[in-house]
Amino acid sequence: MNIVIIGDLILDINNYGTITRLAPEANIPIYNVIETSYKLGGAANVCYNLENLNSNVELVSVIGTDIHSKTLLDELANKKIKHKLFLDEKRKTTQKTRIFKNNNISVRFDIEDTNDISPTIADNIIDYIFYRNKSVNAIIVSDYDKGVVSEYLCRKLISLANDRGIPTFIDPKTKDYEKYKNCFFLKPNLNEMKIMTVQCTTNDIENRLRFLKKSINCKHILLTMGENGMILLENGVKTIINGIKSNNVVDVTGSGDIVISMLVYFFIETGDLLYASKIANSVAAKGIEVLGNYVTTMDDIKEYRHYKIIHDYERDRIVSLSKTKQNIVFTNGCFDILHTAHLKLLQFAKKQGDILVVGLNSDNSIKRLKGENRPINNIEERSVMLSLFDFIDFVIIFNEDTPYTIIRDLKPNVLVKGGDYKIDEVVGNDLVDRVVLFDVIQNKSTTNIITKIKNIN
């Protein structure tokens, strides 16, 4: 995948130390700095996240000639980030300097230049992106209101990208937000969205989000709300993505960068905005538990997929899931050798509500039900396979013969069952509002597949 990132460069300077005494000339603490670190921020941090996921990514921005521009260039070289930086001799390097005491921020001060880049520099950037790059799969605009993403540049970039069918993903700021008109994707946070929609007459979040989508004519919009989750408007269709609460919030710096980088990476890989948004939500929740900008790795992806898998002994997770305000749909089975009838059942189940939870028989449970030669695929194979489907939100592994205890704790709104059952025969029918039966598909079963394989041999 070829991704271009255009936006403001920021150098994060973190000083770690202790307070030794008060200054004699003023009643303020004196910090004894023990260690100083330099980190990439802004568009450079987005680029670093994608670089860490083995993407073919290039950073395009503007840099000055002050002493900190050299530090920033050194950091880009150290991280092996491909970049094309245009020189503006008058521009200061944006610096965010923080002083930490016991891993808590005590002081922050900024040095920055927020003047818009000149039209000449903007034209040079446009020329480089569209006429010197052979192929671009996506463009990320990382706007920190430091002047690189000028209205002139932004409007021209979006127009040319649309002409070429290249999706533009905007991580916005509130200043001059109309410059993002006609973009492919907009990702505001809650505060940014409220400022952008100050003219909207309602306080309802969904209505304000639709107001913003219409006002800038973007195709899709994702509202991030921290631990309260996300709202995705994909072609106008709303999906709520549940938040992931953390008991150990250390630093929210760079969480927006994680969201946009993960989202673009997985959208290009799968073409599925909802799937990409869910992964972005999960990894961003992890990122706030560390100090400074968290950098994503492929291990985060593996952890996300395992996050969807719950064991029946994790009752606290099941009970926590039951408290959601969204409609939960539950279905269950062995899903030993996946086939099209399974997938049609699961897709049908997803349409019955908001969150689809699949109960999955453990290996021991299957052996008791179907004999010692089953399952063909062990529980790790089966659970991971199901977790890879985006329309499945959670997989709960149970060791009992039936999922009655899980249904009792989960409190789903709807039960879906395939096969020749009557509603009063479905396990857990007494615990839910509604039971929906899915018509069995003839001649499609794991047993039939096993029989065919045996006949071949």
What per-residue confidence (pLDDT) applies to 290?
65
Cα distance from N-terminal residue to C-terminal residue, the chain: 43
- Report field, pTM of the whole predicted structure over 0.75: no
Q: Count of alpha carbons within 13 Å of 215, Cβ hemisphere only?
A: 16
Cβ atoms within 10 Å of 226's Cβ, excluding its own: 18
Contact 73, 45 (CB under 8 A): no
| CA-wise closest residue to 12 among 34, 40, 33, 35 | 40
Question: For residue 361, which amino acid is it?
Answer: N
| Known catalytic membership, residue 257 | yes
CA nearest to 229, candidates 305, 271, 159, 282: 282
Cβ count near 56 (within 10 Å): 12
Residue 254 is predicted with a pLDDT of 58
User: Tokens at residue 258, please?
Assistant: 């994680």
Instruction: Return the H-helix or E-strand segment holding 213.
Output: helix 205-216
Edge-first strand listing for the sheet containing 394-398: 309-311, 394-398, 355-361, 328-333, 414-418, 434-438
Question: Taking Cα atoms as reference points, which of 63, 66, 65 lies closest to residue 76?
Answer: 63
Three-state DSSP class for residue 276 = helix
For residue 54, the model assigns a pLDDT of 79
Position 64 scores a pLDDT of: 92
- Which helix (H) or strand (E) is 358 found in, with range? strand 355-361
Helices (H), 66-181: 67-78, 119-131, 151-163
Q: What is the pLDDT of residue 445?
A: 67
Q: Which amino acid is at 58?
A: E
8 A C-beta contact, residue 433 and residue 330: no
Listed residue (314, 330, 312, 313) closest to 411, CA to CA = 330
Q: Which CATH class is domain 2-306?
A: alpha beta
Find the catalytic residue in 8, 88, 257, 363.
Answer: 257
What pLDDT score does 317 carry? 79
Cα–Cα separations (whole angstroms), residue 268 to 136, 199, 435: 11, 34, 38
Give, for all 457 residues of the chain, the pLDDT tens digit: 689 999 999 999 999 989 888 988 888 888 899 999 898 999 999 999 898 887 889 999 999 999 999 999 999 999 999 999 999 988 999 999 999 888 788 889 999 989 999 999 999 999 999 987 668 989 999 999 999 999 999 999 999 999 999 999 999 987 788 999 999 999 999 999 999 998 888 889 999 999 999 999 999 999 998 888 899 999 889 998 887 766 665 555 657 888 999 899 888 877 778 878 888 888 887 766 566 667 777 777 767 667 788 888 778 778 878 888 789 999 999 998 888 889 999 999 999 999 999 999 998 899 898 888 888 888 888 998 899 888 999 999 998 999 999 999 999 999 999 877 889 899 999 999 999 999 876 666 666 776 777 777 6
Strand 328-333 and strand 414-418: pairing?
parallel
The domains of the chain are located at 2-306, 309-456
- Tens digits of residue pLDDT in 384-441: 889 988 899 999 999 899 999 999 999 999 999 987 788 989 999 999 999 999 987 6
Please give the class, per CATH, of domain 309-456.
Answer: alpha beta
